[in-house]
Amino acid sequence: MATTPVPTFDRPEPIPVALTYDDVLLVPKRSAVRSRRDVSTKTFLSRRVRLNIPIVASNMDTVCEAAMAVAMAREGGIGILHRFCSVEEQCAMVRKVKRAQSLIVDDPRTIAPTATKAEALLGFAWEGRKGGVRSLMVVDGFRRLLGIVTPSDIQFSSDRVTVSDVMTPRDKLKVLTTTQVSVDDARQLMHQHRTSNIPIVNGENQLVGLITGSDIAKLLNNVHASLDTRSRLLVGAAVGVKSADISRAEALVAAGVDALVIDIAHGHSDFCLDMLKALKANPKTNTVDIIAGNIATAEAARDLIAGGADGLKVGVGPGSICITRLVAGSGVPQLTALLDVCRVARRAGIPVIADGGVRTAGDVSKAMAAGASTVMLGNMLAGTDESPGKVLVKDGKKVKIIRGMAGYGANISKAEREQQLEDDVFLDLVPEGVEGSVAYKGAVGSILKQVVGGLRSGMSYCGVTRIEDMPKGASFVRMTTAGLKESGPHDISKL
Ligand code: XMP
Q: How many CA atoms lie within 13 A of 249 on its CB side?
A: 31
| Ligand 1 in reach of 322 Cβ (< 6 A) | yes
- Ligand 1 atom closest to the Cα of residue 313 is 22
Q: Which atom of ligand 1 is closest in space to residue 58's alpha carbon?
A: 24
Q: How many A from CA of 46 to the centre of ligand 1?
A: 20
Residue nearest to atom 14 of ligand 1 (CA): 322
What are the residue ranges of helices labelled H in 256-323?
Answer: 270-281, 298-306
How confident is the model over 229-241, as pLDDT tens digits? Answer: 999 999 999 999 9
Q: How far is the CA of 392 from the centre of ligand 1 (A)?
A: 22
Asked which of 320-329, 338-347, 358-367 is least confident by mean pLDDT, the reply is 320-329
Beta carbons within 8 Å of 422's beta carbon, 6+ residues apart: 415
Nearest CA to ligand 1 atom 8: 319
* Residue-wise DSSP of 35-52: -GGG-B--EESSSS-EES
Active-site annotation, residues: 322, 324
Mutational pocket test of ligand 1: of 322, 359, 381, the residue with most ligand atoms within 8 Å of the beta carbon = 322
431 band by pLDDT with thresholds 50, 70 and 90: confident
Q: Ligand 1 atom 19: the closest Cα is on which residue? A: 404
Q: Return mean pLDDT, the chain.
A: 93
With a cut of 70, say whether residue 29 has pLDDT above it.
yes
Contact (Cβ atoms closer than 8 angstroms) between residue 159 and residue 68: no
Q: What angle do CA 305, 311, 315 make, to 5 degrees?
A: 95
Residue to substitute in 63, 326, 380, 405 for testing ligand 1 pocket (most ligand atoms within 8 angstroms of CB): 405
Chain centre to alpha carbon of residue 371: 20
How far apart are alpha carbons 211 and 106 in whole angstroms?
A: 9
Q: Which pLDDT band, with edges at 50, 70 and 90, does 131 fall under?
A: low
Ligand 1 center–CA 409 separation, angstroms = 14
Task: Please give the distance, rounded to the nearest whole angstrom, from the Cα atom of residue 276 to the centre of ligand 1.
Answer: 21
Q: Is residue 333 lining ligand 1, measured as CB closer than 6 Å?
A: no
Please state, in angstroms and rounded to a whole number, the distance separating the CA atoms of residues 149 and 163. Answer: 7
User: Looking at ligand 1, which residue's alpha carbon is closest to its atom 20?
Assistant: 404
Nearest-atom number in ligand 1 for the CA of 432 is 13
Element (H, E) at 447: helix 444-462
Give the Å distances, CA to CA, from 263 to 9, 245, 337, 419. 32, 11, 17, 21
* Cβ-Cβ contacts under 8 Å for 320 (sequence gap 6 or more): 356, 357, 359, 378, 379, 402, 436
Give yes or no for residue 267 CB within 6 A of ligand 1: no
Contact present, 321 and 404 (Cβ < 8 Å) = yes
- In short, whether 94's Cβ falls inside 6 Å of ligand 1 is no
Provide the 10 A C-beta neighbour count for residue 3. 5
What pLDDT digit, counting tens, does each position of 251-290 carry?
Answer: 999 999 999 999 999 999 999 999 999 999 999 999 999 9
Question: At 396, which amino acid appears?
Answer: G
379 lines ligand 1 (CB under 6 A): yes
Report whether pLDDT(128) > 80.
Answer: no
Q: Is the CB of 79 under 6 A from ligand 1?
A: no
Ligand 1 site-directed mutation target among 56, 60, 262, most atoms within 8 Å of CB:
60
Q: Is 376 in the pocket of ligand 1 (CB under 6 A)?
A: yes
Helix spans in 125-182 (H):
151-154, 163-166
Q: Taking residues 214-224, what's their average pLDDT?
A: 93
CA of 177 to the centre of ligand 1 (A): 49
Give the residues across from 79 on adjacent strands: 57
What tens digit of pLDDT does each residue of 287-300 get?
Answer: 999 999 999 999 99
What is d(CA 265, CA 188) in angstroms, rounded to the nearest whole number? Answer: 50
Segment 86-95, tens digit of pLDDT: 999 999 999 9
Q: What is the mean pLDDT of residues 448-467?
A: 96
Q: What is the pLDDT of residue 115?
A: 95
Distance 378 CA to ligand 1 centre (A): 7
Helix (H) or strand (E) segment spanning residue 188: helix 183-192
Indicate the range of 104-108, 162-166, 302-306, 465-469 predicted with least confidence. 104-108
The answer to whether 389 and 435 have CB atoms below 8 angstroms apart is no
Strand (E) or helix (H) holding 291: strand 289-295
The whole-angstrom separation of Cα 39 and Cα 31 is 12
Taking residues 382-390, report their average pLDDT.
97
Residue 296 near residue 273, CB atoms below 8 Å: no
Count of CB atoms within 10 A of residue 145's CB? 23
Ligand 1 in contact with 163 (CB < 6 A)?
A: no
Q: Is the pLDDT of residue 192 over 50?
A: yes
CA of 277 from ligand 1 middle (Å) equals 25
Dihedral in degrees, nearest 10, Cα atoms 266, 41, 379, 312? -10
63, 67, 311, 367 from 305: Cα distances, Å: 28, 32, 8, 20
Q: Is the CB of 199 under 6 A from ligand 1?
A: no
62 Cα: distance to centroid of ligand 1 (angstroms): 11
Query: How many Å apart are CA 248 and CA 240, to the nearest integer?
Result: 9
Q: At what angle do helices 298-306 and 270-281 cross, to 10 degrees?
A: 30
Is 355 near ligand 1, meaning CB less than 6 Å away?
yes
Confirm or reject: Cβ of 358 under 6 Å from ligand 1.
yes
Q: Which atom of ligand 1 is nearest to the CA of 356?
A: 4
Residue count (the chain): 495
User: Please, which residues have CB within 8 angstroms of residue 239's CB and are 6 or more apart in sequence?
Assistant: 83, 245, 248, 249, 252, 260, 261, 262, 263, 275, 279
Instruction: Report how far residue 322's alpha carbon sits from residue 263's, in angstroms, rounded to the nearest whole number.
Output: 15
Rounded to the nearest whole angstrom, what is the distance from the C-alpha of residue 406 to the centroid of ligand 1?
A: 8
Q: Which region, left, alpha or beta, applies to residue 207 given φ > 0 means left and ψ of -120 to 50 means alpha?
A: beta
